[in-house]
Structure 1
Amino acid sequence: MAKLIYGAITSLDGYVADADGSFDWSMPDDEVHAFVNDLERHTGTYLYGRRMYEVMRAWETMYGVPDMPRVARDYANIWHQAHKYVYSTTLAEASTENTRIEPSFDPDAIRELKAGATSTISIGGAQLAGQALAAGLVDEVHLFLSPIIVGGGKRALPDGARLVLELRDEHRFHNGVVHLHYDVKNSP
């Protein structure tokens, strides 16, 4: 059975976007980006909400562009090859390859997907990940804490969720970002 992994780049106070919806402060440098690439290298499927998909689909246009920085070219290749499921009530069709639109998030369908998958499944977008966390579907959480406090916005982790986590690893980067890797143990 494949693992479902939630990863997010957050502010130190736990937001993936500030109150204005901006996340420009979270752009990874080459060192962090290379680390993320290594984490994502075994991802065969991405699960996204519509907004996260709209941000991530830029990687489709970067696929095969030879004059991009190596870390960006590497990630574009990883992203392009993976399957993508987008949960949206407003998108009628996908604008990227290997992408399927689903009208709603179905925990039972994700359990089936995990049972049949042979590679890692990544879930992106705080709202969608919150649903998966609440349903007990997430196996690992990877948080990249950025050295900034934004004071409000879109939370990386959902309110009301209560999960027991076990710290598996941490890593400090030269730019002040700290990566925390947790296994989700259970709901208390």
Structure 2
Amino acid sequence: MAKLIYVTNVSLDGYIEDERGDFNLFPVDDEVFVCYTDIVRSAGTFLYGRRQYEAMAVWETNDALAAQSDLTADFANAWQAASKVVYSGSLSSASTADTTVERRFDPGAVKEMKATANSDLTIGGANLATQAFKAGLVDECQLFVLPVAVGGGKPGLPTGMRTDLDLVDERRFRNGVVHLRYRPREQEAPARSAQ
């Protein structure tokens, strides 16, 4: 069975965007960019909310991005190779190839995707990821923690629920970014009392 992996950038204080909705918190260097590309290349399907999809679709719709360097060309090719599923009640059609628009997040359909996929799936967008966490579908959480505190905005991890995580791996980059990989901890069922 394939894994569903939540991948996101977060500020040191835990936000994916600041109070103005800006998520370009700092320029990414080549070392971090190569790590992103490796994650993208390993996934066969990306699950996105509308805003996250629109931010990423430029890797297919704007040829100038891929033309900037060999690294950006590699990322664009990796991104375009995967299937995409966009969850949106307002998006009428997709601007990229191999993309399906779904009106609502269906945990059963995602569970089926995981069961039949040949490679891992990633999920992007905090609201969508929260739904997947609540449904118990997230198998791994990868955070790129940025060396900046923004003081408020949209949280990168679910609020209003507890999720215990085990650290699987960590990597420090020269520019101060830390890549953390976590796996949700299996919750033990409460012991039954003898009657």
Task: Report if the CA contact (8 A) 2:66-2:72 is conserved.
Answer: no
Task: Report if the CA contact (8 A) 2:48-2:86 is conserved.
Answer: yes
CA distance in 2 between partners of 1:24 and 1:64 (Å): 19
Counterpart in 2 of 1:185?
A: 185
Shift of 1:187: 4.4
Q: Report the secondary structure of 2:92's partner residue.
A: coil
Task: Report if the CA contact (8 A) 2:49-2:124 is conserved.
Answer: yes
CA distance in 1 between partners of 2:64 and 2:151 (Å): 38
Residues 127-162 of structure 1: per-residue CA shift (max 9 Å, x gap): 100110111000000001100000000110011221
Q: Give the aligned residue type for 2:152.
A: G
- Where in structure 1 do 4 or more consecutive aligned residues deviate above 3 Å? 62-67
Counterpart in 1 of 2:191?
A: none
Tell me if 1:124 matches 2:124: yes
Residues 26 and 49 from structure 1, CA distance in 2 versus in 1: closer, same or farther, beyond 3 angstroms? farther
Task: Report if the CA contact (8 A) 1:62-1:76 is conserved.
Answer: no
Shift of 1:61: 2.5
Between 21-30 and 59-68, the greater mean CA deviation after superposition? 59-68
Shift of 1:73: 1.0
Shift of 1:38: 1.3
Task: Report if the CA contact (8 A) 2:47-2:122 is conserved.
Answer: yes
Q: How does 1:1-188 map to 2 (within 5 A)?
A: 1-62=1-62, 67-187=67-187
CA distance in 1 between partners of 2:66 and 2:152 (Å): 38
The structure that has the greater radius of gyration is 2
Q: Report the secondary structure of 2:52's partner residue.
A: helix
Q: Report the secondary structure of 2:182's partner residue.
A: strand
Matched residue pairs, number? 188
CA distance in 2 between partners of 1:74 and 1:140 (Å): 24
Residues 104 and 180 from structure 1, CA distance in 2 versus in 1: closer, same or farther, beyond 3 angstroms? same
Q: Report the secondary structure of 1:150's partner residue.
A: coil
**Percent same amino acid among aligned pairs?**
51
Residues 85 and 26 from structure 1, CA distance in 2 versus in 1: closer, same or farther, beyond 3 angstroms? farther
Shift of 1:65: 6.8
**Structure 1 unmatched ranges of 5 or more:** none
Task: Report if the CA contact (8 A) 2:66-2:76 is conserved.
Answer: no
Shift of 1:29: 1.4
Residues 42 and 160 from structure 1, CA distance in 2 versus in 1: closer, same or farther, beyond 3 angstroms? same
